[in-house]
Amino acid sequence: MQTTTTKVNRALGPDTITKRVLENGLTVLVYHNPTIPALTARISIKGGAMYDPPEKAGLASFATRAMRRGTQNYTFDQLNEETEGRGASVGVDAGQALIEAGGRALKEDTRFLIATIAEVLLRPSFPEAEIEKLRRQTRTALSEMEMDTGSVAERAFRETLYPEGHPYHYRTSGFLETLDNIKREDMLAFYGRYFRPERGILVVVGDVDPEEIVSLAQETLGGWKASGGEEPEPYSVPHVPQPVGAKSVFRPVPGKTQNDLVLGFPGLRRTDPDYYAFDLMNLLLGRIGLMGRLGKNVRDEQGLAYYAGSSFEAGLGAGPWAVRAGLNPTNVGKAITSIRREIERMRTELIPQDELEGGKKFMTGVLPLRLETSDGISRTILEMELFGLGFDYISKYPTIINALTPEYVGEVANRRLSSENYVASAAGPPVEGLE
């Protein structure tokens, strides 16, 4: 096993994160925080909806949630009784690029929590009756999404922006038209192919002894081997070129009086050198306060939107950067014009120093707040490992942010934003001004 030494210290850094790699390839990361009486444990596996076949979109999400519905040694009800009786929680789910199995428990239930996560992860039984119950629940949730203007607009946006076959073209939870294509044998095949210890990272945070956690991980997860199936595809997301010109799409949703608008283009990956400048730019444009410049101008001053803001998904691949707004149908065209104007202003006008400094203070102030909870700490440690940020990331972060200048942020905005090349989707009642 590879070894990294550790000290008992609250500061999150190279000396306080214990790292081991078990013989089966599972990476174990432990952070001891004596001020937290409970512990959080999470195994993240490189995989997820990015590997779903198009005709079975939603497979990863469905299969992983079904794992919690029964194992070789416990029924669904027994798992619930065991965890609820101790005030603990255990769950499994899949995102676009990560499968996660984890939970929370009190310190005295450390062994129970790790062992139960291992039980669900290593010995799922995929009971047919529970799969069908879950299918009915999923169908209800997907039906509700088809009547939600935000969800419908988001689907149309992604399907237009990313080509068929690209992971970001599809919704992680799948669609009504693909749900019944997913069978138990598909779940078994997915489990056998993608649940592999060498793709896994276990992060444990709380009032725990790191060496005891490593030993417990070896005891409960050290025998984990891939259960068979073909080798998984490479862990990567294809590049997608930026749109050329403006592409608009509209989806009607009966019975609605408000439209939801999504306007954007592919953003950048988490490892992109422009990430921090882009993050600061996006904060000022559509997040800080009541959603930045977009909220101030499009909503407050012009009264064109019920809400307006921007966000971006920077992960393994270049997820979308997008402005999202809720609008009266008569204001859609005017709002798009106003949004484009704010994008262009961010691209071409130097950000005032005081505005930039306010954004920097916000960014450097938010990170410590994130580290006040076990879940926030564990997700930060996972990101450090997953994206190669280094365990000294927390100490480096303020220096990185404070070094950003108006000129550099403006140069990144000029290169990475566009007011001419984008996809715009709207959903709801008939709209005015969407070409």
CATH number of the CATH domain containing 11 = 3.30.830.10
Which residue spans within 47-193 are E strands per DSSP? 89-94, 98-106
Q: Is residue 213 within 8 Å of residue 30, measured between CB atoms?
A: yes
CB neighbour list of residue 158: distance below 8 Å, 6 or more residues apart: 168, 169, 170, 171, 320
Q: Confirm whether 173 is domain-assigned.
A: yes
Q: Confirm whether 229 is domain-assigned.
A: no
Q: Confirm whether 122 is domain-assigned.
A: yes
Tokens of 194: 């993608």
Q: 314 and 186 in one domain?
A: no
Q: 262 and 142 in one domain?
A: no
Q: 287 and 409 in one domain?
A: yes
Beta-carbon count within 10 A of 253 CB: 20
Q: 256 and 208 in one domain?
A: no
Q: β-strands 318-327, 259-266: how paired?
A: antiparallel
Beta-carbon count within 10 A of 55 CB: 10
Q: Confirm whether 238 is domain-assigned.
A: no
Domain of residue 137 covers 2-221
DSSP letters for 154-217 = HHHHHHHHS-TTSGGGS-TT--HHHHTT--HHHHHHHHHHH--GGGEEEEEEES--HHHHHHHH
Would you state the pLDDT for residue 37?
Answer: 84
Q: Is residue 229 within 8 Å of residue 51, measured between CB atoms?
A: no
Q: 411 and 350 in one domain?
A: yes
Q: 290 and 382 in one domain?
A: yes
End position of a domain, from candidates 221, 255, 271:
221
Q: 191 and 96 in one domain?
A: yes
Cα–Cα–Cα angle for 240, 242, 247, rounded to 5 degrees: 115
In our burial notation (b when 16+ CB lie closer than 10 A, e otherwise), range 170-195 reads bbbbbeeebbebbeeebbbbbbebbb
Would you state the pLDDT for residue 184?
Answer: 98
Q: Confirm whether 163 is domain-assigned.
A: yes
Q: 388 and 252 in one domain?
A: yes
End position of a domain, from candidates 177, 205, 221:
221
Domain tally, the chain: 2
Q: Is residue 22 within 8 Å of residue 217, measured between CB atoms?
A: yes
Q: Confirm whether 433 is domain-assigned.
A: no
Tokens of 203: 């992060």
Q: Confirm whether 277 is domain-assigned.
A: yes
Q: 315 and 170 in one domain?
A: no
Which run of H or of E encompasses 40? strand 38-46
Residue type, 16: T
Q: 390 and 299 in one domain?
A: yes
Would you state the pLDDT for residue 8?
Answer: 37
Per-residue pLDDT tens digits of the chain, which is 435 residues long: 444 433 334 689 999 999 999 999 999 999 999 988 899 999 999 999 999 999 999 999 999 999 999 999 999 999 999 999 999 999 999 999 999 999 999 999 999 999 999 999 999 999 999 999 999 999 999 999 999 999 999 999 999 999 999 999 999 999 999 999 999 999 999 999 999 999 999 999 999 999 999 999 999 999 999 877 688 999 999 999 999 999 999 999 999 999 999 999 999 999 999 999 999 999 999 999 889 999 999 999 999 999 999 999 999 999 999 999 999 999 999 999 999 999 999 999 999 999 999 999 999 999 999 999 999 999 999 999 999 999 999 999 999 999 999 999 999 999 999 999 999 999 999 997 776
Q: Confirm whether 237 is domain-assigned.
A: no
Q: 179 and 277 in one domain?
A: no
End position of a domain, from candidates 172, 204, 221:
221
Q: 108 and 8 in one domain?
A: yes
